Amino acid sequence: MASPQTVAGREPIRISAIDLGTGDLLVFGEGIGDITGAFANQLLINCAIAAVVAVLGGLITHQFTRRSLAPLGDIIKYSQTVAAGHLDANLPTDAHTDEVRELQSNISSMVGELQNAVNIKSRSEQQMREFLADVAHELRTPLTTVRAYADVLASQQSVEPEMRQRAQDRIAYESKRMTRLIDDLLLLARLSSTPLSDHELIDISSVISSHFHDLKVLDPSRKLTIDTTPCRVEADPALMDRLFANLSSNIHRHTPSSAEVAVRCVSDKGTVTCTIDDAGPGLDDSQLNLLAVGAERFSTLRSGDHHGTGLGLHLVASIARLHGGAATFERSPLGGLRVVVTLPTTHGRHSANDAPHHSAKDA
């Protein structure tokens, strides 16, 4: 049997031949025009369907993509609004995909952090304005007193000895007060701009004992309890001396001479903790909150009777921070102010801090 053949013509014919073995061939064929036409028509139909499906798929994909990415346009507009300084604008949240929702969340977090930074900057500027106003007030008060007494001495040819002595004493007192304020301001500026350079291994407990025994000498009627262990830290000796001098001086100037004071200093797991409690008037909640956020002001912490500059506690906190520690302020169980100073001990030398416990108590 021969392979089928297609004979072209006005109408294509498909023929096939069979050898009968007698020298004759049996040939038969059939027209395939209808089949070829049907195939061509089906091909056209398939192409048309494919074209329609492609167009519909493109339209559907376009609409879906446009709908999915529409929030990106809103995000771009929001970013432009934020860039113009309007941080309080609302970020659209109608995302339809996880990716866009994640982008919105990240942008919202970024703008929130930016808003916090702006708020902190604004508060810092306000605190600086208040700080400068308080400094001006603190300087103006002694300057006014000095000028008044200087005018008295200059305007009167004959001044009574008692009045002259009073004027001289007041001028000397107010001059020392201004000097102390300026020294505090200079120290505060140095603490905020200069890293710790001069440090050595010192025993904090001995510094504490020295200053608070001096307090007992100044106020003999004061009940003073000192409970310390040898606590060695690497620190600037002058700054540590200033820190505890400020604390004892603050108690001496702002609490009654009979108010109880309790001092405790211990070392544990690489940290020295010094707790100073007093039974004085203390600070109210608003003042403690200001100290907690580092926004101490002269006027809020000044005692009018004692002419405090209000920088003492701020210097305490700044010195502690400079040494990698902290100072916190809270209500004392004794009724007044509790100051807790924490300082890191020197690395690798903690054995010196594990010495036997010692306690000294003055009634």
154 and 284 in a single domain? The answer is no
Please list the alpha-helical segments (H only) found in 202-304: 204-218, 237-254, 285-292, 298-301
262 and 236 in a single domain? The answer is yes
pLDDT in tens, 43-101: 999 999 999 999 999 888 888 777 766 777 777 887 888 888 777 777 776 666 677 77
151 and 271 in a single domain? The answer is no
**Looking at the predicted structure, is the pLDDT value of residue 363 above 60?**
no
Q: Which of 312, 332, 308 lies closest to 225 in space, CA to CA?
A: 332
- State which of 129, 161, 193 marks the end of a domain: 193
Which domain, by its residues, includes 129? 116-193
User: Within a domain: residue 89?
Assistant: no
206 and 354 in a single domain? The answer is yes
State both tokens at 113. 């952090």
CA atoms of 124 and 131, how far apart (whole Å): 10
- Per-residue model confidence (pLDDT) at position 307: 43
176 and 121 in a single domain? The answer is yes
- Selection from 60-74, 166-180, 239-253, 290-304 with the highest mean pLDDT: 239-253
User: Within a domain: residue 229?
Assistant: yes
- Per-residue model confidence (pLDDT) at position 122: 83
241 and 326 in a single domain? The answer is yes
CA atoms of 242 and 351, how far apart (whole Å): 26
In this structure, the number of other CB atoms found within 10 A of the CB of residue 157 comes to: 5
pLDDT-derived band of residue 294, with 50, 70 and 90 as boundaries? low
349 and 212 in a single domain? The answer is yes
Over range 90-117, report the average pLDDT. Answer: 77
231 and 289 in a single domain? The answer is yes
State both tokens at 134. 């308080």
The string over 322-334, giving b where at least 16 C-beta atoms fall within 10 Å of a residue's C-beta and e elsewhere, is bbebebebeebeb
State both tokens at 123. 């508060």
Over range 346-350, report the average pLDDT. Answer: 45
215 and 169 in a single domain? The answer is no
User: Within a domain: residue 17?
Assistant: yes
- Selection from 5-14, 74-83, 273-282 with the highest mean pLDDT: 273-282
pLDDT in tens, 124-167: 777 677 777 777 777 787 888 888 888 888 877 677 888 888 88
State both tokens at 185. 């301001």
- Per-residue model confidence (pLDDT) at position 50: 92
Share of the chain above pLDDT 90, in %: 20
Amino acid at 318: S
Poorest-confidence range of 137-151, 198-212, 233-247?
137-151
Q: What is the DSSP letter of 23?
A: S
pLDDT-derived band of residue 298, with 50, 70 and 90 as boundaries? very low
Task: Collapse the DSSP code of 328 into the 3-class scheme (helix H, G, I; strand E, B; otherwise coil) and give the result.
Answer: strand
If 0-12 CB within 10 Å is exposed, 13-18 middle and 19+ buried, where does residue 34 land? exposed
- Per-residue model confidence (pLDDT) at position 359: 44
User: Within a domain: residue 90?
Assistant: no
235 and 348 in a single domain? The answer is yes
Report which secondary-structure segment, H or E, holds 273: strand 271-278
Radius of gyration in angstroms for the set of CA atoms belonging to the chain, rounded to a whole number: 45
Name beta bridge partners: 226. 263, 360
**C-alpha distances in angstroms, 248 versus 89, 90, 212, 215, 262?**
51, 52, 6, 6, 11
User: Within a domain: residue 75?
Assistant: yes
pLDDT-derived band of residue 277, with 50, 70 and 90 as boundaries? very high
Q: Which residue has the higher pLDDT, 128 or 320?
A: 320
210 and 188 in a single domain? The answer is no
Q: What is the DSSP letter of 335?
A: S
Over range 234-247, report the average pLDDT. Answer: 90
36 and 163 in a single domain? The answer is no
Q: Which residue has the higher pLDDT, 173 or 264?
A: 264
Number of domains in the chain: 3
Does the CA dihedral 159-164-166-170 come out positive or negative? positive
The mean of the pLDDT values for the chain is 79
- State which of 169, 193, 217 marks the end of a domain: 193
Single pTM value for the model: 0.56
Poorest-confidence range of 149-153, 206-210, 277-281, 331-335?
149-153
State both tokens at 301. 């912490």
